[in-house]
């Protein structure tokens, strides 16, 4: 489907949810091989974390549907325990730099 792999991001998950649970939920979808599940803390002391899921996609109706939505910057909902779901988006590396500009740095002052 995609020329470069699409990586999923669950922007906000409770810290009580384990990586193993997330792995098992995505495995049951049968959309491909789950290569990794990465946890990123949101803030110091926060009750939430961000999840990055790397998948080797297979070709079937569900995976094609998911990839198409993500490529069109749309969200998907993954129901993990009825009625609870995760809202997933396409992972964009370094989005904070795009939103907030480059890292702070020194500039030479020109002499006038």
Element holding 100 (H helix, E strand): helix 95-100
62/66 Cα distance (integer angstroms):
6
The answer as to whether 76 is a domain residue is yes
Residue 2 in domain: no
- Distance CA(72)–CA(53), nearest Å, equals 18
Euclidean distance between the first and final Cα of the chain, in Å?
56
Q: State if pTM tops 0.85.
A: no
pLDDT tens-place string over residues 27-82: 999 999 999 999 999 887 789 999 999 999 999 999 999 999 999 999 999 999 99
Q: Residue 3: inside a domain, yes or no?
A: no
Domain that holds residue 24: 8-94
Structural domain contains residue 110: no
Task: Give backbone dihedrals phi and psi of 100, rounded to 5 degrees, phi first.
Answer: -110, 5
Q: How many structural domains is the chain composed of?
A: 1
pLDDT bucket at 84, cuts 50 / 70 / 90: very high
Integer Cα distance of 51 and 80 in angstroms = 14
Determine, yes or no, domain membership for 109: no
């Amino acid at each position: 489907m995609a020329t470069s792999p699409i990586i999923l991001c669950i922007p906000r998950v409770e810290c009580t949810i384990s990586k193993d649970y997330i792995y098992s939920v995505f495995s049951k979808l049968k959309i491909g091989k789950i290569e990794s599940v990465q946890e990123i803390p949101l803030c110091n002391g926060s009750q939430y974390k961000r999840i990055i899921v790397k998948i080797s996609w297979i070709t079937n109706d569900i995976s094609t549907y998911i990839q198409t939505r993500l490529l069109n910057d749309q969200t998907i909902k993954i129901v993990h325990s009825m009625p609870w779901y995760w809202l997933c988006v396409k992972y964009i590396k370094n989005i904070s730099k795009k939103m907030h500009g480059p890292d702070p740095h020194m500039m030479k002052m020109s002499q006038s």
